[in-house]
């Protein structure tokens, strides 16, 4: 397994591609939610990603997977649980609040990572991370308390605070819960990626998360079947772009960068998602 750190340019290009890919998630999810329940979207995203990863993981990396210790498997399971909770809460939040509110609140994960990394990973906070934390707090507060706006013939905004509405409050809280779960997922990822190569790691974690989501679907009585071809197309796009390209690139970077810095980098997602939401969904 290569350990040489990529050049700064390569890291920058990879992270930029990841941000662009992940930014499509909210819009794709909104279209899929026209027919598919949120939990079905979360389960499909993880299951499809796992199926795509199965051939290279099992054919080329079987030996590494067999060598995993019980502790590493348990950490992989815990990381998968965090990832499943992240998607279940965040995707559901999009049913109740705006794309911008949801994405900005879920992107407060750098704050929680930065608070926990020095304790559990012994990683010191840098000036870049501290600035990112401050921006996260400011952005999350402004967007979370912002008025809902829509753009049709022009921009129109309600003067009722998003937090004053019961549904928006529920959506905002779910997005925040998604941020907490994402922080746990990134923290464990930083620890495991120091020992595991990318494909076995993401196959393990995405697979564990998919199993958790399938159990949740079974308990809730929901099904993956019976939707229109267009809905399945949206589910496929969610699995390919935000998950396989976006999240997997973040996981690749976790081997070379401090977890708090990777978490701060994800702050590019609210910008991209908000632009796409404005252009495609006419929503601010």
* pLDDT tens readout for residues 15-73: 999 999 999 998 999 999 999 999 999 999 999 999 999 999 999 999 999 999 999 99
For every residue of 105-132, DSSP letters joined together read HHTTHHHHHHHHHHHHT-PPPPHHHHHH
**Cα distance between residue 178 and residue 165, in whole Å:** 20
Which of 70-74, 114-118, 183-187, 211-215 has the least mean pLDDT?
114-118
> Under 8 Å CB-to-CB from 12, ≥6 apart: which residues?
none
Nearest to 117 by CA among 133, 136, 141: 133
- What is the pLDDT at residue 131? 78
Phi, then psi, of 151 in degrees rounded to 5: -125, 115
Which of 11-15, 158-162, 241-245 has the least mean pLDDT?
158-162
On whether the CB atoms of residues 163 and 169 are closer than 8 A, the answer is yes
Q: What's the sign of the alpha-carbon dihedral 193, 197, 203, 208?
A: negative
CA distances (Å), 6 to each of 2, 12, 187, 259, 267, in order? 10, 10, 21, 16, 22
pLDDT at 92 exceeding the cut of 60:
yes
pTM of the model: 0.85
- Summarize the confidence of residues 265-280 as an average pLDDT: 79
Q: Give the model confidence (pLDDT) of 133-172 as tens digits.
A: 677 667 656 655 554 555 455 555 554 544 457 788 899 8
pLDDT at 249 exceeding the cut of 50:
yes
Residue 6 DSSP symbol: P
pLDDT at 101 exceeding the cut of 90:
no
pLDDT at 211 exceeding the cut of 50:
yes
146: helix, strand or coil: coil
On whether the CB atoms of residues 86 and 182 are closer than 8 A, the answer is yes
Which of 24-38, 95-109, 236-250 has the least mean pLDDT?
95-109
Q: What is the dihedral of CA 17, 261, 98, 177, to 10 degrees?
A: 130
Quick one: which H or E segment has residue 60?
helix 38-60
- What is the pLDDT at residue 88? 93
Nearest to 62 by CA among 72, 52, 53, 70: 53
Phi, then psi, of 97 in degrees rounded to 5: -135, 175
Tell me the percentage of the chain whose pLDDT exceeds 70. 88
């Amino acid at each position: 397994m290569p350990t040489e750190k990529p050049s700064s340019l390569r890291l920058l290009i990879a992270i930029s591609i990841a941000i662009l890919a992940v930014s499509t998630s909210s819009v794709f999810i909104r279209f899929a939610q026209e027919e598919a329940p949120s939990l079905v979207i979360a389960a499909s995203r993880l299951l499809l990603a796992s199926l795509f990863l199965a051939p290279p993981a099992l054919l080329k990396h079987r030996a590494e997977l067999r060598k995993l210790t019980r502790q590493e498997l348990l950490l992989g399971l815990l990381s998968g649980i965090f990832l499943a909770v992240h998607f279940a809460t965040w995707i559901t939040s999009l049913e109740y609040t705006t794309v911008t509110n949801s994405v900005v609140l879920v992107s407060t994960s750098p704050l929680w990572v930065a608070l926990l990394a020095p304790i559990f990973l012994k990683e010191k906070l840098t000036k870049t991370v501290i600035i990112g934390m401050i921006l996260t707090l400011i952005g999350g507060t402004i967007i979370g308390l912002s008025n809902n706006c829509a753009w049709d013939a022009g921009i129109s905004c309600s003067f009722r605070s998003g937090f004053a509405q019961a549904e928006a409050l529920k959506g905002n809280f779910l997005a925040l819960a998604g941020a907490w779960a994402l922080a746990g997922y990134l923290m464990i990822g930083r620890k495991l990626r120091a020992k595991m190569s990318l494909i076995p790691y993401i196959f393990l974690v995405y697979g564990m998360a998919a199993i958790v989501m399938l159990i949740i679907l079974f308990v809730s009585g929901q099904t993956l079947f019976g939707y229109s071809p267009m809905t399945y197309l949206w589910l496929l796009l969610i699995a390919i772009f935000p998950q396989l390209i976006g999240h997997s690139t973040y996981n690749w970077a976790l081997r070379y960068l401090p977890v708090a810095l990777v978490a701060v980098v994800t702050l590019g997602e609210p910008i991209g998602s908000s632009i796409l939401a404005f252009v495609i969904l006419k929503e601010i």
